[in-house]
Homo-oligomer: A and B are copies of this chain.
Amino acid sequence: MLIQQTAIVGSGIIGRSWAIVFARAGVPVRLYDHLPDNRAKALEHIGEALAQSAPLVGDATAQKAVLDRIAVADRLADAVADADFIHECIDEKLDSKRTIFRELDQCAKPSAILATTTSSFPVSTFASELPGRGRCIVVHPATPPHLLPVTEICPAPFTDQAVTDATFAFMEQCGQTPVLIRFEQSSFVLNRLQAALVVEMLRCLNSGIISPGDIDKIISQGFGLRWAFLGPFEGVDLNAAGGIREYLERFGFIFDDMARQNGLEGAVVTPEAIAMLEKYARDQLPLEALGERTAWRDRSIASLRELKKESARHR
């Protein structure tokens, strides 16, 4: 499935951001919104967002070339007519999803992929009765996708494998970082991870132990600098000479204690979890290379702090 033409339905913040992602990768976009006012303003907003993300796009000429690949359509049928990939980005209501997918399944060409940017409705909850249900798939980004590459791909049990494969390939072609959500759950993974952190931040706030600004600083002047380069598992792998296995065998109780204090039952640091994480970590990096990776992390963080100083000057 070669994706040569895309359509985006809904020109809010996420729809416009996806338009940038596709057009930036050289793929034409037709953008539709049911509100004439949103349609009228979409290209102007996109132009501004392109200017703010110049390091990822290039100079004014390059920005214009991207913008020129995005057209606004006044009718849904015109937007999707010859699209190979259609991304639904309308409001987050189950009924709206059901209605628009019925319509898309009728007016899109038979080979088109029908993606939804939903953060909370697995495809099974609104498209399982459609004739074209096999081409429906969740493609849920971090916000906004033209800046944060990670993108959750969640097929329904009835989604064709070829659709999942083509969606992954297309996201990679666009420079995104697709991750596979293996089965449907109400909130996928991305929002769960953020919520878990924010819930703990709120608990600290509510207990009075620390001010709101100081909580933010623990992330923005602390872990955030590390997590910009390494996921937390990769980070933990650097914290013991024996890597993540040694770390979790020695300090895993910290996480189990935390889980227990928060009312969860059973251990989270199980032998199976340690085995999976060790395989992941050692497939990426042999133990002998941990020192070098740590030095790389340190250089990267030091450069980021330089960048932040510069960036703060233009705040």
- Residues in A lying within 8 Å of B, measured CB to CB: 48-49, 52-56, 142-144, 147-150, 152, 177, 179-183, 185, 187, 189-206, 208-234, 236, 239, 254-255, 258-259, 262-265, 268-270, 272-273, 276-277, 280, 284, 293, 295-296, 298-308, 311, 314-315
Q: How many copies does the complex hold?
A: 2
Residues of B within 8 A of A56 (CB): 302, 305-306
- Checking B148, B190, B200, B218 against A150 with a beta-carbon cut-off of 8 angstroms, the contacting residue is B218
B210 and A189 contact, CB distance less than 8 A: yes
**What's the least CB distance linking A120 to chain B, in Å?**
9
**What's the least CB distance linking A8 to chain B, in Å?**
19
Residues of B within 8 A of A227 (CB): 219-220, 223-224, 227-228
**What's the least CB distance linking A262 to chain B, in Å?**
5
Residues of B within 8 A of A203 (CB): 259, 264, 268
Residues of B within 8 A of A262 (CB): 196, 199, 262-264
B189 and A193 contact, CB distance less than 8 A: no
Cβ-closest chain B residue relative to A53: B302
- Checking B48, B193, B298, B299 against A200 with a beta-carbon cut-off of 8 angstroms, the contacting residue is B193
B226 and A225 contact, CB distance less than 8 A: no
Cβ-closest chain B residue relative to A13: B239
Residues of B within 8 A of A265 (CB): 263
Residues of B within 8 A of A142 (CB): 218, 222-223, 226
Kindly list 6 other residue pairs between chains A and B, CB separation below 8 angstroms, not including A219-B232, A224-B227.
A142-B222, A189-B215, A195-B255, A203-B259, A203-B268, A225-B228
B258 and A195 contact, CB distance less than 8 A: yes
Q: Can you sample 15 A-B contacts with CB below 8 Å?
A: A56-B302, A142-B218, A147-B301, A148-B222, A149-B222, A190-B222, A193-B223, A194-B223, A196-B197, A199-B262, A202-B259, A202-B268, A203-B268, A217-B231, A263-B265
